[in-house]
Chains A and B, each alone.
Chain A
C-alpha cells in the first residue's frame, strides 16, 4: 500500500491525473517523468489492491445510489492480467515517446491508458460505460495528432464508430437494467430459450465494434496508420484489447464468436499481402490476431480463456514492438511504404533486430512469446474437436508469418536497398533515436523473457494451469508449419511469383460508405430539402386557403356574423325545444 494514496483508490485515476498534469507540464522531459511516476504509482496501487480468484473477486468502493450498485473496482485474475498489461504498454509508450510525443499525445495517451485500465477493473456496467467512452474520446485526439487533413478525416470516422459503440452499449445497459438485470458486469446469454436476446445482441454489437469484428473493422486500418509514429503505438494497445476483455467477461462460450473469430483471422491475411503501407499491414495483422482471441472466447473453458487472455497479454507487447519498429522507420525516413523502403538494416541494425524479434514473436516461433500463448488457443480448438476452426487457425498462422513475420522486416530492412549513398547521393538514414531504442529493447526483452520462461505469463492467467508449451510435439509441429511456409516464400521469390509492392490504395468495405454512401448523402441532402420545401409550400397554400375560407364565413360581413332579430332567436329555440319534446315522447 502506498502511504499517501487511499487504500481503495482506482489506479485508472492515477494515470488520468498524470495525463492532466502532463498536459500542463512545460517540457517534454517533465511530461515523461510525470508519465513514469503516474504509471509506477498505478502499478504499485494495482498490486496493493490484491487479486481474487475467478469466482471470488475482491470488490472495492461498492456503493448503492438510487438502487443501482456501483462497483468501481473488481479485482480478479481476469481483470488484473488486463490491467497489468495496460500498465506495461503505457510504460513502454511513455519511454518510446520520450522525445517525440507531442503534448497532446503524452497527456491523452495517459488518460487513454487510464481509461482502458479503469474499464478492465470496472465491476459494474455504468462504470464500464464511462471508461468505454473516455477511451473513445481520449484516443481520437491521438488520431488527430497525426496532423494531416487525412488524419483529421480518419479521426472523424473513428469517432463516429467509437461513439456508436458507446451509445449501443448504453442502450443495451439501460434495457438490461430496466428488465431487472444485475448491475454487475457478468456473463450475458445471447441465445436464450426464446431465441436471440436483443439486449445481449446490442451489447455484443457494441463490444464487436471496438473489437473490430469483420465488416465493422475498417475504422482500425483507416485511423492507425494515419497517426504519428508514437500515436500508432499508443492506439495499437488499448481499445481493441479492452474490447477483448469485455468479450471474455460477457460472452465466454458464445458459439457465434467461433465463426466470427475464424473470419477475422483469415480475411486480413489477403489484405495485408497486397497492402503497401507497412503500418497498415500491421493494422490488418492486428485484426488477424484479435481473431485468434475472439475464436478462443467462443470456444470457452479454462484452457481457451487462458489462451485468449495470455494471447492478449503477449500480443500487446509484440504488436507495440512492431509498430515501434515501423514508427522508428517513419521518424528516420518519413514513410512506412514498402515501395519507398529497403536495405535499412545497414544503418538501423538495432531497429532491425528488435523488429525481427517482434516478427518472430507474432509468428509464434518457439522461444518467443507468441508461441506460448497461441498454442493454448489452437490446442483448445483441437480439444473441442472443432476441425474447421482448427484448420482456419493453422491457415491464419501461416498468414501471420507471411505479413508480419516476413513482409514487415523483409521490405523495410532488406529487399531492395533504396538508401545506398550511390543511389541517393546522401548518407544513409540514422539509427532510431535512443528513447525509441530503449522502449523497443524493453518490449523485445519481454517477448524473449515470456518465450524462454513461460511461467511469468502462466502465473498471471485467469485459471490455474499445468499447461506446458514446450513439448517435443508442439515444437515439432509449429516449426514444421513455419519452416515449410518459409520454404514456400523462398520458392515463390525465386520463381518471381511473390507480388511486388505497388503504390496504391486498396479498397475495403469502408468504400461502401466513403464513396457510394457519401454520394447517397450528397444526393440525399438536397433531395430531402427539395421534398421538404415542396411539402412546406403546399401546406402554406392550404393554410392560406383555410384562413381565407374562414374569413369569408366568420369575418366581418361573413355569413355567420350577420345580426339577427330577437324574434328569430326565440322562434328557433322554440322549434328545437319542440323537436326534443317529440323525440322524448316517441321514446
Chain B
C-alpha cells in the first residue's frame, strides 16, 4: 500500500504490488458508490427510518465518515506541535529500552526460543 524503495522486488508480497494498489483504487470507490446507491434506493422506496432532519439525506453517513476521518487526520496531527516531546521525556533512557529485562528466574523461558537453540 505504500512505496518500499529499499527492498528488492522479489521480497514484495502480493499485497504490495502496483496491481494490488490499482485494484484497491477500483474496489474501494466502487464499494462507496454501491452502498451510497443502496441507501438512495432505500430512501426512494421509503425503507429508511431517519430520526433527525439531516440524516434524511441519503449519503449523509458517507459524508460524515469522509469528513470525520479527514478532520481527525488533518487536524489531529497538529497536536504534535503542542504535545510531542522526545522519547525519553519521562523516564530517561529506560523508556527507550526495547523490551523487559529477561531475568530467567522471573521471566518465563520462551519455548520457541528453546527450539531455535536446538
Contacts and interface: CB of A to CB of B under 8 A. Distances in A.
Contact of B65 (A148, A410, A488, A503): A488
Given A422-B8, A490-B24, A499-B80, A416 B52 contact: no
Contacts of B59: 480
A584 to B, nearest CB: 83
B29 interface: yes
Given A28-B108, A473-B42, A274 B69 contact: no
B19 interface: no
Interface in B32-61: 32, 35-36, 38-39, 42, 47-49, 51-52, 54-55, 59-61
B6 interface: yes
Contacts of A499: 73, 76-77, 80
B72 A398 contact: yes
A487 B74 CA distance: 15
B111 interface: yes
A481 B48 contact: no
Contacts of B117: none
A149 B107 contact: no
A488 B69 CA distance: 7
A176 interface: no
B11 interface: yes
Given A274-B84, A335-B99, A420-B7, A401 B69 contact: yes
Interface residues of B, number: 73
Interface stretch (A242-250, A381-389, A456-464): A381-389
Contacts of A490: 24-25, 28
Contacts of A505: 84-90, 95
Of listed A475, A485, A489, residue having the most chain B CB within 10 A: A485
A151 interface: yes
Contact of B13 (A345, A394, A497): A345
Contact of A489 (B38, B69, B94): B69
B110 A331 contact: yes
Nearest to A422: B8
Contact of A273 (B62, B76, B110, B112): B76
A387 B61 CA distance: 14
11 contacts: A148-B101, A385-B51, A394-B68, A414-B16, A472-B38, A476-B39, A477-B60, A488-B69, A488-B70, A503-B87, A507-B85
Given A269-B72, A473-B47, 6 more contacts: A150-B97, A481-B61, A483-B35, A483-B65, A484-B69, A507-B83
Interface of B: 1-2, 4, 6-8, 11-13, 15-16, 24-25, 28-29, 31-32, 35-36, 38-39, 42, 47-49, 51-52, 54-55, 59-66, 68-70, 72-77, 79-80, 82-91, 94-95, 97-103, 106-108, 110-112
